[in-house]
Amino acid sequence: MRGKEELLYDVINQLEEESRELGIPSISREDGTLLAGLAFASCLDGDGLIVDAGAGMGYSTAWLILGTMGARGRCKVVAIEYDSRLFKYLQRASQALSKFANIEIINDNALSALSRLQGIRVLFVDVEKHHYPEALRLGAPRVKSGGVLAFHNAFFPRPPDEFFDAVKELGWPHIAVPTLAGGMLIIRKP
């Protein structure tokens, strides 16, 4: 009998193939494994939210769910997507993903939805890059101590300088990981 992780890999592979066929941009598998590791480490013994801000059709959401599966904590995954066309795909994906985790999907502007959330363990942001400074401003106080904020495309396409200035001003430990698909900036809340 196949384990839950193997069944989730089937969903991940299906979402990856669909996004490629439909021409919908998605994170790389390398970025996905990084997200799974962040979700695992952040939910290992606690509870809270794992938030995918700019979820698209749910590919990055599936990787975040994979990370929560091995953790003993009870984290809920929240996927936010504004685009109504992509949200329809996310709705369909969430039916399959709900077999593996407690998932909530929100059809709203990521910044607006983020302003209503609390108790975040992982915040993954993959929205228009000019919104990154505001996502950082809104997200930082909503992330639990020890939690992380991860911003996709830290190198390419590069977010505005204002975002990097805000990260430095925050003063929290951070690292820009040079993944093949544009990199990821990871910030840990003390």
C-alpha angle 91-93-96 in degrees, rounded to nearest 5: 115
Q: What is the dihedral of CA 81, 166, 75, 15, to 10 degrees?
A: 40
Give the structural domain span for 133: 4-188
88 in Cβ contact with 82 (< 8 Å) = no
Give the tokens for residue 110. Answer: 């990521």
How many domains does the structure of the chain reveal? 1
Q: Which of 67, 89, 51 is nearest to 4 (CA)?
A: 67
* Domain harbouring 47, CATH code: 3.40.50.150
What pLDDT, in 10s, does the model give residues 154-174? 999 999 999 999 999 999 999
What pLDDT, in 10s, does the model give residues 97-137? 999 999 999 999 999 999 999 999 999 999 999 999 999 99
